[in-house]
Structure 1
Amino acid sequence: MGVRDLGSKLNEKIFTEIGGMEQGMVLQSADTDNPVLLFLHGGPGSPEIAFSQDCPTGLDGLFTVCWWEQRGSGISYRRNIPKESMTLEQMIEDALAVTKYLCKRFGKEKVYLMGHSWGSLLGVLTVKRAPELFYAYMGIGQVARQEESERLAYTYMLERFCQAGDKRMVRKLRRYPIDKGGDMSLRYLSVRSEGMQKLGIGVMHRMTSMMDCVKVVLGYKGYTLGEKLRFVMGSSFSLGCLWDTVAKCDLFERAPRLEVPTYVFQGKYDYQVSYEIAKRYMEAMQAPVKGFYTFAESAHSPCYEEPEKMCEILQKDVLQGKAELADR
């Protein structure tokens, strides 16, 4: 049973200039006096507000939530975006600009930051750049060392499909020998996603096909038809521009410490971003307060798969600056 949709006092889709171009976001809140939360979506290029329509997170009951759609993604996609502007550095600058916009609009000194998947990589580096702007950081499906994560996932999938006698998936995977240093191309990602969904180790544990994700976007009432088309184009564009950066970035080296309370929510079945590596990163990194939380019924998206547990952690730990519910 999901979190009950309480309805939002604020539910507004806006466009504003961020980093020299118009970018879009949706603001939602049951009470605008609540703290502000900036949500950094995954992908790169995959805004997530559409998932909250059928799988409400409960975030807008605790925070004023900004579902920002990043440069080159969703409603922020434009055909004329220069590819050279699609860099990790520019994304960090954009995230800081959105943060400052939110502080000014809602009269806050700081905001909370939550990043999912690719957004968790962006989130850690954004907080590292300007910790004074954030009360705390929360990572969902925390990226830390994605090349290693992809090899672990590949080996696991190949073993499972061999055991199951699924010759078709074995044949498709073996075209891309990731375990032997093969190229993690965008074509491979398509095969990888298909395999993960079949095994329940991808986007959601109970989601069996990537078509389920497509249906979520197509069914979202907050997008116009044109915006749904932009979503598809932006997803391909952003992934093509940023995937190599995601794969090669090592947070063990780049962000061994954060200066704000840091929390990671990781699904037990997550192989899209390795549960094992995320846990190792949290054990190694330093922060004033830190907590790692295992979601036993989730794969890559515990915010949609187990929202009640997430909200309990947010209320009892994150908003209190504690980590008493964390794994021991």
Structure 2
Amino acid sequence: MALFFVVLLGLISIISTLLLVVLSGKMIPYTDASGQVLPASLAEKSWVTINGVEMGMIIKSRDIRKPVLLFVHGGPGMPEYWLNASYPAHLDEVFTVVWWDQRGAGLSYNSKIPTETMTTAQLVSDTISVSRYLCQRFRQDKIYLMGHSFGTYIGIQAAVQAPQLYHAYIGVAQSVNLALSEELAYQWMLEFYHEDKKNRELLEKAPYGTAAYERIRDQMMHEAGIGTTHTMYSVITGIFLAVMKHREYTLKEKFQVWQGKAFSKSSPLNEEFRQANLSDLITRLDLPVLFFSGAYDYTVNHHLSEIFLEDIKAPQKHFYLFEDSAHSPIFEEPEAVLKILKALIA
């Protein structure tokens, strides 16, 4: 009996320790071989008041003297720092990386944020204000701006309005016309699942544009290899569980990811994004522009992105197609991406 209680207490101790690690939400610092924190490094979770709203951001840098990169995440309302744990992009090898959670999303979620402030114009303004804050904090005249998916819809408009703040704009899975892109994805999946009777029937019974389609869309795209990554076949294991087991989020912050996503999706911002056609709005950028697209990306149609860039006037512009990637080439082919980024800042 005594041995039983010793074993039980040991198990309780182990479980308690694991829970503390999983739920603590403490940032993991950069350390050397002896465990000492690198002197010029930074691993910080912080909140800053931007345009009247407290917004959270995670800043990771091996050396804070490196150029600053502001990452504008997807969604609407879906932060991506958690994805960097499963698919390390290694952006911190080149930059001081700022994983900013947009108004109403993740670390920046607050139920008191007025829904009417969740608009395209406001998020573009927020992006510019965050950029100015970072220039001031890190004493840099300009920073690099990278948007991903929905973040490209916001990021590219910020780059148009305030090109003087940025060395370059980098659009990863650059959005152009979401409605057309989604319709093309549906048609592609009908062909992909042609010999898969079960999934083909599911798609035919839930045509594009219906609520029924929206319920099956994410899982169908991931199973087809055209979702978040080419090899992420499940949104449960690839996204939900990845968020919930992330060590640098507290339990409250993990739930905020889902609260913020739901809040953003129900806001005016979501409908504005779904109806927008950037090719009608943007024809010129007064800074270098790079688009990164995955060959398997039908979440944001890569053909539309390439055509969009062809029509944009810019001092420099480059389109890169990553043959082994779907929607997230910076996470799927990081070595190839870093090679391009290192040349960009050289």
Post-superposition CA distance 1:275-305 (Å, at most 9, x none): 1101111111111000000111100011110
Aligned to 1:206: 231
Deviation, structure 1 residue 165: 2.6
Instruction: Give the Cα–Cα distance (whole angstroms) in 1 for the partners of residues 111 and 205 of structure 2.
Output: 33
State the one-letter code of the partner of 2:304: I
Deviation, structure 1 residue 176: 4.0
Deviation, structure 1 residue 208: 0.4
Aligned to 1:177: 207
Q: Aligned to 2:300, which of 257, 273, 276?
A: 273
Instruction: Give the Cα–Cα distance (whole angstroms) in 2 for the partners of residues 286 and 207 of structure 1.
Output: 35
Instruction: Give the Cα–Cα distance (whole angstroms) in 1 for the partners of residues 329 and 30 of structure 2.
Output: 20
Q: Go from structure 1 to structure 2 and tell me whether the alpha carbon gap of 1:267 and 1:12 turns closer, same or farther (over 3 Å shift).
A: same
Aligned to 1:312: 339
Q: Aligned to 2:192, which of 151, 160, 164?
A: 160
Instruction: Give the Cα–Cα distance (whole angstroms) in 2 for the partners of residues 14 and 120 of structure 1.
Output: 24
Report how many residues are paired. 308
Instruction: Give the Cα–Cα distance (whole angstroms) in 1 for the partners of residues 157 and 206 of structure 2.
Output: 30
Q: Go from structure 1 to structure 2 and tell me whether the alpha carbon gap of 1:54 and 1:194 turns closer, same or farther (over 3 Å shift).
A: closer
Instruction: Give the Cα–Cα distance (whole angstroms) in 1 for the partners of residues 281 and 106 of structure 2.
Output: 28
Aligned to 1:324: none
CA contact (8 A) 2:144 2:168 kept: yes
Aligned to 2:260: 234
Q: Percent identity?
A: 40
- SS across alignment from 2:248: coil
TM-score (norm 1): 0.90
Aligned to 1:247: 274
Instruction: Give the Cα–Cα distance (whole angstroms) in 2 for the partners of residues 173 and 206 of structure 1.
Output: 21
Deviation, structure 1 residue 81: 1.5
1:1-328 equivalent positions in 2, closer than 5 A: 9-161=41-193, 163-167=194-198, 169-178=199-208, 182-183=209-210, 185=211, 188-211=213-236, 212-241=238-267, 242-316=269-343, 318-320=344-346
CA contact (8 A) 1:115 1:140 kept: yes
CA contact (8 A) 2:207 2:213 kept: no
TM-score (norm 2): 0.86
Post-superposition CA distance 1:79-119 (Å, at most 9, x none): 12111010000001110110011011000111100000000
Aligned to 2:11: none
Instruction: Give the Cα–Cα distance (whole angstroms) in 2 for the partners of residues 57 and 65 of structure 1.
Output: 11
Instruction: Give the Cα–Cα distance (whole angstroms) in 2 for the partners of residues 153 and 244 of structure 1.
Output: 19
- SS across alignment from 1:164: coil
Deviation, structure 1 residue 55: 1.9
Instruction: Give the Cα–Cα distance (whole angstroms) in 2 for the partners of residues 24 and 37 of structure 1.
Output: 16
**Larger-gyration structure (1/2):** 2
Post-superposition CA distance 1:197-216 (Å, at most 9, x none): 01000100001011111111
CA contact (8 A) 2:30 2:43 kept: no
Instruction: Give the Cα–Cα distance (whole angstroms) in 2 for the partners of residues 205 and 173 of structure 1.
Output: 20
Instruction: Give the Cα–Cα distance (whole angstroms) in 2 for the partners of residues 24 and 6 of structure 1.
Output: 21
Deviation, structure 1 residue 57: 1.1
CA contact (8 A) 1:6 1:61 kept: no
| Larger deviation, residues 297-306 vs 242-251 | 242-251
Deviation, structure 1 residue 6: 7.2
State the one-letter code of the partner of 1:305: E
Root mean square deviation, CA, Å = 1.5
- SS across alignment from 1:269: coil
Instruction: Give the Cα–Cα distance (whole angstroms) in 2 for the partners of residues 227 and 43 of structure 1.
Output: 17
* Unmatched segments (≥5 aa) in structure 2: 1-28, 32-37
* Unmatched segments (≥5 aa) in structure 1: 321-328
- SS across alignment from 2:266: helix
Post-superposition CA distance 1:206-265 (Å, at most 9, x none): 010111111111121110000101111111111222322112111111111111100000
State the one-letter code of the partner of 2:65: D
CA contact (8 A) 1:194 1:209 kept: yes
Post-superposition CA distance 1:48-104 (Å, at most 9, x none): 111112322111111111100001110111112111010000001110110011011
